[in-house]
Every structure is written in structure tokens, then in C-alpha cells.
Chain A
Amino acid sequence: MSTVKLTVNGKAVAVDVEDRTLLVQLLRDHLNLTGTHVGCDTSQCGACVVHVDGKAVKSCTMLAGQADGASITTIEGIAKGDELHPMQAAFRDNHGLQCGYCTPGMIMSAIDIVHRYGGQLDEATVRHELEGNICRCTGYHNIVKAVLDAAGRMKVSQAAE
């Protein structure tokens, strides 16, 4: 057992876990943040993507111990109170989800993509960048539309801040 200290959605936490604990298990089983999903458990589907120090990574492919000292943002940490994050709002408006299982990972990856590319996003780039997130319902079309829509909204909200 080890004590892992990290910041999750802005809150400092210390959790006693077995050394073999994965970051996603710490989030879901110890902190009850079950918005982060485990889809494949083989590092391919991206349902478990969270931000670790601002980078979108697969929380099923990282030990909790590796995240000691890090700042984590999960799907629960992106809305401002009742106001959805622009990426969440764009997914809703563009019907970017059906069953919703992949959506938390999609949204966390998509926010990272927009941060990296800013206004320079096009459809081909979004599709290439979303290769690590698998959706079995939508055929991706509306997800890509949502990401492009959100890229515009995030630029506007950044400019407003």
C-alpha cells in the first residue's frame, strides 16, 4: 500500500491504494468519480481518457503511483456549475453521442485537441486526432461536427475571458 497525493478537479486528495492500482481505479473506486469509463481495458478505446497535468491520457494505462503529485481533470471537473463546458454543449447540440459510453473520453480528448490546435482544426485533423477514441454507435460523423463546433465556441469564450 502507498499513499498517493494528487489534485483531482482542483481538490487536493490523498488516497491509500495498492501499488498495482490504476489511475482509473483510483478515480472510480476510491473517489467515486464514475464519469470516467473503462471500455476495453486494453488501452485502445479511450473511454478512460482524463487530463493529467493538462495532457489527455488513458487512465487505464497509468498506475495511480505514476500520478502522484499530478493534477488530474476528469469529465466531472469541466463544467462551471450548471453551465456545461463548450465541448459538452457542442456534443449535446450536434447529437455527438448515442449510448454515451465513450463520450467522457471523447470530450476529454477533444478538449485537448482544441487546446493544441486552437483555430487550426479541420475535419481530417479531428479524425486523425480522435484515433484513440472508439465509438461503436455514431459513426463519428456528429462527434467530428461537435468538436469543430466546440473549437469555435472555445475560441470565443477564451477571447471573452
Chain B
Amino acid sequence: MYQTVYHRASSVDEAVALFSKSSEAKFLAGGQTLLPVMKQRLASPTDVIDLGKIKELQGVELSGDVLTIKAGTTYFDIMQNADVKKATPAIAYLTSVLGDPAVRYRGTIGGSIANNDPAADFPAALLALGATVKTNKRSITADDFFQGLFTTALEDGELITAVSFPVPAKAGYEKMRHPASRFALTGVFVAQTKSGEVRVAATGASQSGVMRVPAIETALKANWSPSAIDSVSISASNLLADIHGTAEYRANLIKVMAQRAVAAAR
């Protein structure tokens, strides 16, 4: 790791002020991605601004039909939270298969979506549930937030403070886990909103990062059942291909994971 200067912020305002005073700063949430990347010398921020002790970034609130998870809430705390389990058990389940226990103790929802790894789990949940990302400056819909591999709508120095999820009628998530990294080889989040809209998002599959899957949405809108997806055809063009799986394999995984997610949805 290259030299860096460590700062611990005690509030969102302080974190943002520290960022603007540094030449090339990075916000440090759980550090489960940023620190490995810094150790590989793929990132070399002059300053890291630790968000881990900011109280206003911690916690979960359920208010009517909106579940709000503050950005600094760890995967472990999300997984254990009674409101999350009650309002959207699919999010609790997603968190339980994300990384491993040590990663879940440290990693945060804000860190996951800010990084927008093409195989991360949370982007699929946000996109399928039609979530809204709250920052220190504004609100951004999930559709606008995720803009491609490791790319988001965040501006330099803009800090995610929370994510608001509309509570769905039903939702489910399933993924094919990479056996070493536990990242999604392909993961699919399916959701039926309380107004009857169906949204489906796949992660780990596309060269452009997390994406909606309109063909499966149409099929599930007509008939919410795993068998409705049997006849759907998913194109392999623009899908990821690597040593772990071809684009055609991932195209098939999108269908299979969507079917399993529908079967598991509640």
C-alpha cells in the first residue's frame, strides 16, 4: 500500500469538508473493497476519510411502506435487523449470502453501491426494488444511479447517506456464488411492487454492470411463476465471459436464477 493520510470523521459534514480539503481523497466505509484495492496498489488516495464512526450513517428505519437503510449500516446489522426481515426478507437473505462472516461484519450497503462492482449483490436489490439513493446533496433513483462498471451518478466528494426501499408485495433473490470469492457469478433479484409492477435486475452478468431484464419482467407480469420464464430467451450479447463462465452460460443463469428467485419470493 502506498502512503496515505488517515482521517476519522465524526459527522457527514466533517467528512465532506475533509474530502474537499484533500487532493485525492477516498471515503472509507467498511473497507472490504477499498483496502484490498489499495493493497494491490490499484488505488492510491492521498487521504482516506473513515466514515465508520459517524452515528448519523448507522441504522435502519421502517416507516409505513418505506424501508430506509443508512449508508454505513453493515451487512451483518442489515441481516439481523427485525424491520428488514419483516419488510423485505429478500434483502436479509441477500445479505446472508454476501461475502463471508468477517466481510459482513465490516462491509456496508453504502460502500457496496458506491463501488458498483459488476458482480456485487446490492445493486440488483436497489434496481429491482426501485430504491432511491440519498446523498448529502440530493436523491437519485436506482435507475439513474448505476451507470456501468464501477461507475455511478455520484459526483466527486458526494457522499451516500442512505438508501430508501419501497416495501414490495413480494421479492426474492438468488445467485450462483463463485465458490472462492462468493461474488455473484450471476444473481437475479425479482420484485413485485404493491401496485403490481414487476421489476427484475441481474448482477454479475452484463458487461455494463447491473441491469434490468425486461423480457423476464414481461413474462412475470403476465404470470408470476417460475414456469412463466421457461420460454423467455435471453441474448448472450453484451454479457460477461471469463474463465468462470461463458456469456451463453450466464444468459442461462439469468433465467435459472430468476426462476429460483420467484420460487423463493415472499
**A interface residue numbers (CB < 8 A to B):** 2, 18-20, 22, 41-44, 46, 49, 55-58, 60-63, 65-66, 68, 109, 112-113, 129, 131-133
- Indicate if the CB atoms of A63 and B39 lie closer than 8 Å: no
Q: Please indicate the chain A residues that have their CB under 8 angstroms from the CB of B38 in the complex.
A: 20
- Indicate if the CB atoms of B101 and A43 lie closer than 8 Å: no
- Indicate if the CB atoms of B1 and A20 lie closer than 8 Å: yes
B4 located at the interface, meaning its Cβ lies under 8 Å from any Cβ of chain A in the complex: yes
Within 8 A of A (CB), among B26-83: 28, 31-32, 35-36, 38-40, 48, 50, 52, 76
CB distance from A38 to the nearest CB of B (A): 11
In the complex, the chain A residue whose C-beta lies closest to that of B106 is A57
Total residue contacts A-B, CB cutoff 8 A: 81
Q: Please indicate the chain A residues that have their CB under 8 angstroms from the CB of B231 in the complex.
A: none
Q: Which secondary structure dominates chain B's binding surface?
A: mixed
In the complex, the chain A residue whose C-beta lies closest to that of B180 is A44
**B interface residue numbers (CB < 8 A to A):** 1-6, 8, 28, 31-32, 35-36, 38-40, 48, 50, 52, 76, 99-103, 105-106, 180-182
- Indicate if the CB atoms of A46 and B3 lie closer than 8 Å: no
- Indicate if the CB atoms of A63 and B101 lie closer than 8 Å: no
- Indicate if the CB atoms of A65 and B101 lie closer than 8 Å: no
A65 CA / B23 CA spacing, docked (Å):
20
A65 CA / B31 CA spacing, docked (Å):
12
Most buried by A among B2, B8, B76, B101: B101
A57 CA / B48 CA spacing, docked (Å):
20
B101 partner, pick from A19, A41, A62, A112, beta carbons under 8 A: A112
Most buried by B among A44, A63, A68, A109: A63
Q: Please indicate the chain A residues that have their CB under 8 angstroms from the CB of B100 in the complex.
A: 46, 131-133
Given A56-B102, A58-B102, also A66-B5 (CB < 8 A): no
In the complex, the chain A residue whose C-beta lies closest to that of B100 is A132
- Indicate if the CB atoms of A43 and B8 lie closer than 8 Å: no
A114 CA / B105 CA spacing, docked (Å):
16
Could you write out 15 A-B pairs with CB less than 8 Å apart? A2-B6, A18-B3, A19-B5, A19-B48, A22-B1, A44-B180, A46-B100, A55-B105, A56-B101, A57-B105, A58-B102, A61-B35, A63-B6, A65-B8, A66-B8
